[in-house]
Amino acid sequence: MKKNISASLEKNLQDLQTEFDNSADLMIRRMQVCGVPAALVSMEGLVNKLNIAESILNPILQAELEEKNPVKLFSLLETRILSTTDHNTFTDQEELMTFLLNGFAIFLLDGCGKALAAGVQGYAYRSIAEPQNENSQKGSRESFVEPFLINMSMIRRRIRDPRLKFERLVVGKRSRTNLLLCYVRDVAAKELVDGIREKLLQADMETVMGSGYIAPFVSKQESGFFFVGAGRSERPDTVCGKLVEGRVAVIIDGTPSVLVLPRLFVENFQTFDDYVNRPFYAFFTRILKYIAFFLSLFFPGFYVATAAFHPELLPQPLLIKIAQSEVSTPFPLMLELLLIHIIYEIMREAGLRAPKPLGHAVSIVGALVIGDMAVSSGLVGPPTLMVVAVTATAAYVTPSLYEISSVIRLVMIFVGGWLGFWGLMLGVFLVLVNICSETVYGIPFSAPVSPFSWKSMRDVFWRSSWKRLGRRDARIQDLPGSKLFSGEKQKESSENRK
């Protein structure tokens, strides 16, 4: 039910005080403008007081006006006196609340059933810094910050195209979090944008405090899918690269990372540096990343299966070394690996959560306990420790896959130790089917590897030169197996809809 702003200033202020229950951060500055009672309402901490004084209070109080009619006076103030760059007039009380809570200053005049919201936002926020999780040697040093409008500007600065569109949405019944749906109009498939918008609006959430809150709503994944069909990036350049390929970004207020949809499996192995390095080196690092991912997932399981079931596979000197080290340890190889991995995960979690001053202590204890004492006390064999070390390091090469690889790895150790190599292969196939089973907004998660497209492979296992990459019109909806319309089909589809 729409409720209009009252013409009575006292009633409006009374309503606001009741709504906020006299909250300490509600600021009301009463004044007289040409003898007409007026008030400026704002929220403490969300506005820039200097800006208020310079662009609202000083011009109003110093203005020499003769007008006594409140409606005409309001119009005069709006058009000739106020010097704010961003202001809106409205009559709806709900809009008043939205503007007020978004850091606008609300000007109310007695006898006028309208309000004016002036953009004087100004709150303390972290300045733009280097990305924490997506480091780049040669790329930009900027990363997203918490205020969504700054993130919006960072994208706009990189894509100076009027077809880049930002749509503002509000999600969260209580938090009323601002979101921006960002896409390039003539590149992104309409079905994709509509689908994501619909999912966002349908998200039944009380509060949205980060991208992780809404990722499950928008990634549209089936139950039982191990991976995530929504990517996250804290680099504006990476997000811009994705946008021009037809993807959609969701900027969430208060979160220094942006959701990018849809995300395919192969994107986990692409980094910004791949595109600034020379192609041969990009190819080399990509292959390293794939190898590292497979090592992080299957190496411990393969080690257990080989040592326990297929020792004939190993060269004799290596086999003897493993046998010598294992003969003195009390646990079976599978249990040994499981224990060490779990201890390693505990250490990692402690290092991550412990207060910074304690971090070094955790590292020292971890290095001593796992690295030295476990071997010297005879609980663990050195080859096992070596396997764990290689696996742990390999897992950090693809950080976006760390969560899933750390769990699958434990399962693979168990299966490899229980059933042997063929059991491990059952696990590999299961993971493969899981990867291939998901379709994110009509695009197979496993594309363009399967369904295969030679054209799209130019940026999968290797990265072609910019002469070729720059020439191509790589849109996400053009990938093999995609059920999204593209190009001419998209035009026809939108015309049909009209």
**Contact residues: other proteins, CB under 8 A:** 224, 306, 309-310, 312-315, 419-423, 425-426, 428-430, 432-437, 439, 444, 446, 449-452, 480-481
> Would you give the DSSP letter of residue 6?
P
Amino acid at 286: R
Q: Smaller CB distance to other proteins: residue 283 or 421? A: 421
C-beta of 483: minimal distance to other proteins in Å? Answer: 9
How many helices (H) and strands (E) the chain has is answered by: 20, 12
Q: Note whether 234 and 134 are within 8 A (CB).
A: yes
Between strands 115-119 and 177-184, the pairing is unpaired
CA distances from 410 to 263, 308, 331 (A): 25, 17, 17
Which residue, 225 or 283, has its beta carbon nearer to other proteins?
Answer: 225
Task: Give the pair of three-digit tokens for residue 205.
Answer: 């959430």
Q: Where are the alpha helices (DSSP H) in 77-183?
A: 93-101, 148-158
User: Least distance (Å) from other proteins to the CB of residue 498?
Assistant: 22
The dihedral through the CA atoms of 125, 127, 131, 133 has a sign that is negative
Provide CB contacts within 8 A for 285, sequence distance 6+: 271, 273, 274, 277
Cβ distance to other proteins smaller for residue 219 or 482: 482
- What is the 8-class DSSP label of residue 399? G
Q: Which is nearer to other proteins, 362 or 387 (CB)?
A: 387
**Cβ of residue 429: shortest distance to other proteins, in angstroms?**
5
- The smaller minimum CB distance to other proteins, of residues 103 and 442, is found at 442
CB of 302 to other proteins, least distance (A): 9
Q: What are 3's two structure tokens? A: 């409720």
Smallest gap from Cβ 278 to other proteins, in A, equals 28
- Closest distance to other proteins from the beta carbon of 388 (Å): 22
From the CB of 460, what's the least distance to other proteins, in Å? 13
Measured from the CB atom, the residue of 68 and 310 that comes closer to other proteins is 310
Rounded Cα distance, 102 and 92, in Å: 16
Query: For residues 43 and 305, which CB has a smaller minimum distance to other proteins in the complex?
Result: 305
Q: Which of 52, 493, 490, 495 is nearest to 246 (CA)?
A: 490
Q: How many Cβ atoms from other residues are within 10 Å of residue 394's Cβ?
A: 20
